[in-house]
Structure 1
Amino acid sequence: MELKVLYFGMIAEATQCAEEIISLESGSSVDQLENLIKGKYKKLQRLPFKIAIDKEIIANNVVLHPNSEVALLPPFSGG
């Protein structure tokens, strides 16, 4: 399956792109996606971020579905 992954803030700076299409096997989990992305972008191994699926921050053991919108979000600052 192919997923559109969006990058924001310092995550976009580390990947040098705002979005990309990532291919994963059907039934893959968020953990597997995160490991793939961290393997591709070594700088992300040192950066904190959350993963949102369809605009909702989720746990890492959630199974991904085709056509889901995935976003890597940097830490939020309040105000």
Structure 2
Amino acid sequence: MKINVLLFGSLTEIIGQSSISLSADKITDVHQLHAYLLKQYPALSAKTFKYAVNQDLVDTDHTLQEGDEVALLPPFSGG
């Protein structure tokens, strides 16, 4: 399964790019994706962020599908 992950703000600095493409058959939901990302990029564990799948905020039990676009959204402020 291929998943596109978009990163914003300080998360981009941690990973070193604004997007990554994952091919992982064992990642079937957001919880598994979260565990995978923390294993690959341990510095993410110090950050707070939410997940959006195809531009909708989701919980970690959300099932992922082939070609989903997953965004990691850190807190942000505006004015």
The TM-score with structure 1 as length reference comes to 0.91
CA-to-aligned-CA distance 1:35-75 (integer Å, 9 cap, x gap): 10111001101100111100111010011001111111111
Unaligned runs of 5+ in 2: none
Counterpart in 2 of 1:50? 50
Counterpart in 2 of 1:72? 72
Cα distance in structure 2, aligned partners of 1:41 and 1:76: 21
Counterpart in 1 of 2:38? 38
Q: Which runs of 4+ in 1 moved over 4 A?
A: none
Cα distance in structure 2, aligned partners of 1:23 and 1:37: 13
Check the 8 A contact 1:26/1:65 in 2, yes or no.
no
Cα distance in structure 1, aligned partners of 2:73 and 2:27: 23
* Amino acid corresponding to residue 75 of structure 1 in structure 2: P
Cα distance in structure 2, aligned partners of 1:70 and 1:62: 11
Structure 1 residues 26-35 or 42-51, which shifts more?
26-35
Cα RMSD for the two superposed structures: 1.4
Instruction: Give the C-alpha shift of residue 76 in structure 1.
Output: 2.4
| Secondary structure, aligned partner of 1:33 | helix
Unaligned runs of 5+ in 1: none
